[in-house]
Amino acid sequence: MSSPIPASLETVQEKAKHGHRSTLLSQGLRLVCKAAGVLVLARLVLPSEQGLFAMAASFTLLLWMFRDMGLGSATVQNANLSEGLCTALLWTQIGIGLALTLTTAAAAPFVARFYGQPALTSLLGSMSVSFLFIGIGGLPRSLLVRELRFRELNRLESISAVTGTVAMIVAAVLGAGAYAFVVFLLVWEFLCAALAWMHCPWRPRVRAQCDGLLALIRTGLNLTQYNALNYITQLIETVAVGQYLGAFTLGLYNRSGQMLALPMAHVAEPLSQISLTALSRVTPTSSEFEIQSSRSANIIAHLTLPIAAFAVAAPEEVVHIVLGSQWAEAAPILRWLAVSTAITQIIQSAQSVAVAAGQSKRLIQTALVAFPIVAFAVALGLRQGAVGVAMAVALTNLLLAVPRLWWRLRGSPVSVWTYLKAIQLPLLSSAMLGAGTALGRTFIFSGDFPWRLLGSLIGAGVGVALAGLISPSLRAEWRVVWAHLPWATKTQPTSTTARDDAR
């Protein structure tokens, strides 16, 4: 089988635009489900039971990085898939899921002994089944992504999220305790797999053929190693802060990072998946590849950088709103972590370019180089406490940003200059928003929190408005971004080249 590939760039662009709309809508719904689950279960499940699940999740999340060994992204990136190769991929992913299930179940007694919690044995045994569901549903979900059928994919994920959340709350009401979270996990993964097979027309009709499977596994392993290195790099910060600065400081550091992870998890990463799919549908050596990559980077930057800019300019207000006044000490940490988040989001789309261009190995190389540098920065920053760690990591990421971009984009039609040019106006508007926020909270209104927040919002609005007045091209890009939002109904320009028409 060779899955359908859109015949023209315009078709790819239009499907990507619809994918952006449905993805943002789905991610918003999932975020609401997550918030509802946190609020309700905080009142129904004892902290000790929630802690028990957190212990189990600390182990399963580590294995989750190896859930498909990167074969999902490799399948999307591959230009042609035969019927036999699809069958081989199906059995390979089911085999990976079964192996992870057995590994989790076998390791459960040892994890329980490590934490001194015998109840973890049965809890992890229940959670292990989720890996089998992931293996069964992995290929059809990848094929839906590959065919740019994001509407169906997001619909099935939304149904799974809502159903899983309702089932979790019902289980909590019935006194399931820690197993309420397990109910959500199993319902989510089971429905995702079942609904994916319902929407995917492909079925295994021929015997597995392993020609080409090794190349896909190699690409998948590169992506898995890259994700593992990133995880270990982030773990260094957590371990260092917890070991040398204590649990209280680690709580401040982790909570700040979790707040900033939301735009990455619910905006940047899903849209980068769409970018990878769209780029994989055009020839890497063509000019269309550059157009598509520039547009994706531009849209992601417009949707994520303003959040980081506001957190940099008004961290006290953000912490007060999200966490409460008792978390005030997290504000200076949040400011520097927001800088790191902004840099990460800027180079996020470059990862899609590297994978689509068949350069996934470059991601590992950049991660290997960054790992000791970030570790050294963390060690230096510890002398100044958690704020010092956040600042050291932010400055390190800033210094490594251009080299990372250059190495990831090397060999593709997209140069560093072209990439930075695509995000220059989002950077301008975010900088104006940040400057306006800082001035507003300082000079428009000062004093208590409500007035500072009002001043921050007014200043942010004025800063963005001034940026739009200065640059007609920026206004043209806003119209493009608007066309990719869930509530957009009218046909809008789909190319960032629209800014050239506005000049």
Task: Give the C-alpha separation, 392 to 95, whole Å.
Answer: 42
189 and 261 inside one domain: no
Instruction: Report the residue count for the chain.
Output: 503
Of 211, 231, 257, the last residue of a domain is 211
What's the structural domain count of the chain?
2
Residue with tokens 């006194």: 175
Torsion of CA 427, 432, 436, 439, to 10 degrees: 90
| 470 and 401 in a common domain | yes
Judge if 342 and 429 occupy the same domain.
yes
> Is 232 a domain residue?
no
Is the domain of 158 the same as that of 254? no
Residues 254 and 181 in one domain: no
Model confidence over 196-215: pLDDT tens digits?
Answer: 999 888 888 878 777 777 87
Question: Rounded to an integer, what is the distance from CA 98 to the centroid of its chain?
Answer: 26
Does an H or E element contain 90, and which?
Answer: helix 83-115
Residue 299 lies in a domain: yes
**pLDDT tens string 306-364:** 999 999 998 888 888 877 777 888 889 899 999 998 888 888 778 888 777 777 778 88
Same domain, residue pair 197 and 341: no
In a domain, 139, yes or no: yes
224 inside domain = no
In the chain, which residues have pLDDT < 70?
1-19, 79, 247, 444-447, 487-503
**Structure confidence at residue 10 (pLDDT):** 52
Q: Are 293 and 275 in contact (CB under 8 A)?
A: yes
- The span from the CA of 332 to the CA of 299, in Å, is 29
Tell me if 170 is assigned to some domain. yes
Domain annotation covers residue 87: yes
**243 and 195 both lie in a single domain:** no
Q: How far apart are CA 143 and CA 122, in angstroms?
A: 34
For residues 197 and 139, membership in a common domain is answered with yes
- pLDDT score for 1: 42
For the stretch 279-288, pLDDT in tens is 777 777 777 7
Integer Cα distance of 389 and 245 in angstroms: 11
Q: Among candidates 436, 150, 414, 146, which has minimal Cα distance to 298?
A: 414
**Amino acid identity, position 158:** S
In a domain, 303, yes or no: yes
> Does residue 141 sit in the same domain as residue 190?
yes
Shared domain for 179 and 261, answered yes or no, is no
Residue 264: CB partners within 8 Å, gap ≥ 6? Answer: 304, 341, 344, 345, 348
Backbone phi, psi, residue 65, to 5°? -65, -20
**Are 176 and 250 contained in the same domain?**
no
Statement to judge: residues 199 and 249 lie in one domain: no
HEC assignment per residue over 447-478: CCHHHHHHHHHHHHHHHHHHHHHHCHHHHHHH
333 contacts 256 by C-beta, under 8 angstroms = yes
**Residue 106 sits in which domain range?**
1-211
Measured between its terminal Cα atoms, the distance across the chain in Å is 46
Which pLDDT does position 5 carry in this prediction? 39
Q: Which of 209, 353, 371 is nearest to 276 (CA)?
A: 353
501 found inside a domain: no
How much is the CA Rg of the chain, to the nearest whole Å? 23
Task: Give the other-Cβ count within 10 Å of 425's Cβ.
Answer: 22
